[in-house]
Amino acid sequence: MSHWLKHHIQAISLVLSRMRQNLLSSLMISLVIGVAMCIPALFYVSVDNLSMLTNSMQNDNEISLFLKLDANAETVNEIDRALSQHPSIKEYRLVRKEEAWQQLQAKSESNPAVRELSKNPLPDAFFIQAKITEPQALETLRVELEQIEGVEQAVFNADWAKRLAVLLALGKKIIYVVAALLAIALLIIIGNTVRMQILTQKEEIEVSKLIGATNSFIRMPFLYAGMLYGVFGALSAIIMMSGIVLIFNHSVSQISELYNSDFQLPLFNGDLFFTLAAIAIFIGWLGSYIAVTRAIQSMQVN
């Protein structure tokens, strides 16, 4: 057991020594891996957080019921009674046209278009919280409420969020495709890098084989090289992601304040960072394994 462990430690030390001797090229390869992994990961984080934001908006299930401008108090009371007895309605609130008009004027003191209005153009409105969450059932409820006498229009408050959620779902699929293509590119890059290292050590490998070294013994340092490239590449990606998120959040915080929101991308995402590292190490190992296996076969060293 100690001999096996010592052998692996020696292989890792040898690889690190070679990387230190070729520091610039090792750094460039790590940065290439980092950039290739950072791009889809950053877009995934953005899309995933926007998806959670829109899902929380959709969960409100709020329907706005706008009444006709000429609806009188009796009509409003009848609609109120109908809503209170509806089994699919959790709660609702009535906003009188006078209240809505005062709120609009208070928010638009500097807007000359509002000040020039001679009368209140706003209708009475009910804002309804539904018990149901299924899109089709909500649409059925909306159509039903719109048929009530005195109602002008019934609309979902989160329609735009639902459309955005569909686009974000498509965006996630595109990110997966791009990530897969970049993974293939990294596989080729790491494989070619390890292959060049093998060619520079061809005579050493042949001599090792002549004195009894097995293919697994010859393969081991190169496998560790690919895995270490993956580790350093993942660290580069994590550092780049953290820096970009910091810059992004600084700008987003100013926009979020305008909408009374605290939306920000998380600076630390342990699951994502672990996934990045695992994928990078696997790609490095696989690229190295393919390259060294093909090289040994081409040298006809068996």
pLDDT per residue as tens digits for the range 156-175: 755 555 666 677 778 888 88
Q: How far apart are CA 96 and CA 76, in angstroms?
A: 10
Any idea what the CATH number is for the domain that residue 80 is in? Answer: 3.30.70.3040
Same domain (yes/no): 171, 223: yes
Final residue of a domain: which of 157, 180, 197?
157
- Domain count of the fold of the chain: 2
Same domain (yes/no): 40, 126: no
**Contacts with 63 (C-beta within 8 Å, 6 or more apart), sequence order:** 127, 128, 130, 138, 141, 142, 145, 154, 155, 156, 157
Q: Which domain holds residue 242?
A: 2-57+162-298
Final residue of a domain: which of 157, 188, 215?
157
Same domain (yes/no): 105, 178: no
- 3 state DSSP class of 114: helix
Residue pair 242/41 in contact (Cβ under 8 Å)? The answer is: no
- Give how far Cα 275 sits from Cα of 30, 46, 238, 283, Å: 17, 16, 11, 12
What is the predicted pLDDT for the residue at 120? 64
Final residue of a domain: which of 116, 132, 157?
157
Same domain (yes/no): 152, 189: no
Same domain (yes/no): 192, 290: yes
Same domain (yes/no): 228, 283: yes
What is the predicted pLDDT for the residue at 106? 65
Phi and psi dihedrals of 249, rounded to 5? Answer: -65, -30
Same domain (yes/no): 81, 139: yes
Residue 155, H or E segment: strand 151-156
- 3 state DSSP class of 295: helix
Residue pair 60/158 in contact (Cβ under 8 Å)? The answer is: yes
Same domain (yes/no): 180, 152: no
- The owner of tokens 């700008």 is 251
Residue pair 218/209 in contact (Cβ under 8 Å)? The answer is: yes
Taking every pair of C-alpha atoms in the chain, what is the biggest distance, in angstroms? 102
- The owner of tokens 């350093």 is 232
Same domain (yes/no): 234, 85: no
CA geometry: angle at 12 spanning 9 and 15, to 5°?
Answer: 150
Q: How far apart are CA 243 and CA 169, in angstroms?
A: 26
Q: What is the pTM of this model?
A: 0.61
Closest C-alpha to 98, from 73, 126, 121? 121
Same domain (yes/no): 111, 248: no
Same domain (yes/no): 169, 28: yes
Q: In tens digits, what is the pLDDT along the chain, a chain of 302 residues?
A: 566 677 677 777 877 887 888 888 888 888 888 888 888 888 887 777 766 665 555 545 678 888 887 778 888 888 888 888 888 888 888 887 677 666 666 665 555 555 555 566 678 888 888 777 666 777 788 888 888 888 888 887 555 556 666 777 788 888 888 888 888 888 888 888 888 888 777 777 777 667 766 777 777 888 888 889 889 989 998 888 888 888 877 766 665 565 555 666 666 777 888 888 899 899 988 988 888 888 777 765 44
Same domain (yes/no): 220, 262: yes
